[in-house]
A and B are shown apart, each in its own frame.
Chain A
């Protein structure tokens, strides 16, 4: 099975959940509306139906992964999926035609749908006649191109609505419909010797972005009152990250009999979820406070998230291991130098902010030159290279820790934030560096252990650590009188 086939299982299920939430949203919202404006909710219900159909189509892709090659045509889920996708496209077309009150849109949708169905029929016909047919693939590609164009149009309508209304729900819908375009099968499936449109490890990136869709829809519908911002993207990533790791895990056959690997995968996915959530949270805070260290930390956590996703996929064997290890190493060390930069800035040495990047840049070039070598071997045989990086990584531990201790001594509010961040970064560096040196087969335990570090940092940054310790203090103080 391929990663994208397994990912479709999660995608389909998440689309069902999103459809349920959208139904709930439309129902509660329309109950309070008068009879006239209740009609306006019809397009939302149409979107609900289209998402259910999209979910079923996704599940057929997952189901296809179990079938042997060359199964008879009328049970081939690929055709079922194509027809379902065309129906879904028509529904989205009807919804957007109703929204913009332009019935040209409807005519266009029906024309494109007819063309797509005709092309799918020709493709089926060619496959039936010749078994293997380049012509069938061409028909499919044209049909998918037409569908993507149509979906792009629908997505434009929703993106414009999100831009105009500045509502998170509208942005969630727009995100789900836009990212759906990236699920086009041609990006992931090659045909008879031809590679897919985007070659293999790279299309994991498009799959990652495509998986943002259900995450965006779910988070925006769970909290419909939130402000629309880049924060949503972080929450989308906190769905896409774990899903892609798990899909890789299932795709390489890791589920059967390897419980320790399963535990590591679960913890590693949770770590990705928290770190991307943290990036989103920090980005949201930055939007209000406009403090430079906050946005630097947001960038750092985004880098750590992507690095860990790539590293775990590589460790699972769903991607070239060396390539993944190098990408991860570069991303993680970039993120650590960003954290160092944030630490320097927060400590008040503004003119030195770019120093970590200067050191990082040199190291990155040196490390890249070793490319196909084992990265562990390279680092161990060039420890001197490694030292500035380690010093760089440890720098924020001291700056944040120092700030925390000073704040605690002065009795300032919120000393737990820098302290927690400092300890979190230290433990992250220790576990990650430890397991770069100690290599084990399968998932790197460093990825799983990073969960603890991220959890600590999440508690610290969101201020929950303070309330936890405050509760403890309250329990310890004996009641007076």
Chain B
């Protein structure tokens, strides 16, 4: 599953750069205000950041790079969402001057997507093959022992 968007918010609650949030009703600036307000509130009552928000089928994962917040948008059923969010945070952490772009979104999506499904597919088919062979083996051995012993 792919990640839909990345949003970087500065300490003042302004959207610094974003990609994929164009169709978000109200635009990215409204979401930026919401996230920074929520984080302020969360910090006040628990001393820690809030890590995710979920609306219906959409899931927003919240990360932090130094003084800035990073928001990534995923489908609620995306199992690799946390992984992708970590990748984005690590990428921005290493290059503080980077503006998020469609290329970055594709890069994170691309590598993550191919790895995930391919390895999953290979693992599944190997397990299935082993299971089929195992049951065949057991059946053959069982039949043999019934004839012979």
Contact = CB atoms under 8 A, between A and B. Distances in A.
Interface of A: 26, 29, 33, 37, 40-41, 43-44, 99-102, 157, 160-161, 164-165, 167, 169-170, 224
B94 interface: no
A28 B51 CA distance: 75
B137 interface: yes
B145 interface: yes
B136 A37 contact: no
Contact of B145 (A37, A170, A224): A170
Nearest to B143: A40
B147 A165 contact: no
Contacts, number: 46
B145 A167 contact: yes
Nearest to A160: B141
Interface string B106-147: 000000000000000000000000000100111011101111
B149 A102 contact: no
Contacts of A99: 140-141, 144
Most buried by A among B133, B141, B144, B149: B149
B148 interface: yes
A26 B144 CA distance: 13
Contacts of B146: 165
A384 B138 CA distance: 61
Nearest to B144: A99
A162 B133 CA distance: 20
A170 B147 contact: no
12 contacts: A26-B148, A29-B148, A100-B140, A102-B133, A157-B141, A160-B141, A161-B144, A161-B149, A164-B142, A164-B145, A167-B145, A167-B149
B137 A44 contact: no
Contact of B148 (A44, A100, A164): A44
Contact of B136 (A101, A165, A170): A101
B147 A161 contact: no
Given A29-B148, A101-B137, A102-B137, 19 more contacts: A26-B148, A37-B147, A40-B148, A41-B148, A43-B148, A100-B137, A101-B140, A102-B133, A102-B140, A157-B141, A160-B141, A161-B145, A161-B149, A164-B138, A164-B141, A164-B145, A165-B149, A167-B145, A170-B145
List of 8 A-B pairs having minimum Cβ-Cβ separation, nearest first: A165-B145, A167-B149, A101-B140, A40-B147, A100-B137, A161-B145, A37-B147, A99-B144
A100 B141 contact: yes
Contacts of B140: 99-102
Contacts of B133: 102
A170 B149 contact: yes
Contacts of B142: 161, 164-165
A33 B146 CA distance: 12
A101 B145 CA distance: 13
Contacts of A164: 138, 141-142, 145
A43 B147 contact: no
A190 to B, nearest CB: 39
B138 to A, nearest CB: 7
Contact of A43 (B136, B137, B144): B144
A129 to B, nearest CB: 44
Contacts of A224: 149
B147 A33 contact: yes
A101 B138 CA distance: 10
Given A40-B144, A43-B144, A169 B137 contact: no
Contacts of A161: 141-142, 144-145, 149
Contacts of A169: 149
Most buried by A among B136, B147, B148: B148
Contacts of A44: 148
A41 B145 CA distance: 10
Contacts of A170: 145, 149
A43 B141 CA distance: 11
A170 B141 CA distance: 11
A33 B148 CA distance: 9
B143 to A, nearest CB: 8
Most buried by A among B133, B136, B141, B145: B145
A40 B144 CA distance: 6
A7 B136 CA distance: 40
Contacts of A33: 147
A169 B145 CA distance: 10
Contacts of B149: 161, 165, 167, 169-170, 224
Nearest to A101: B140
Contacts of A165: 142, 145-146, 149
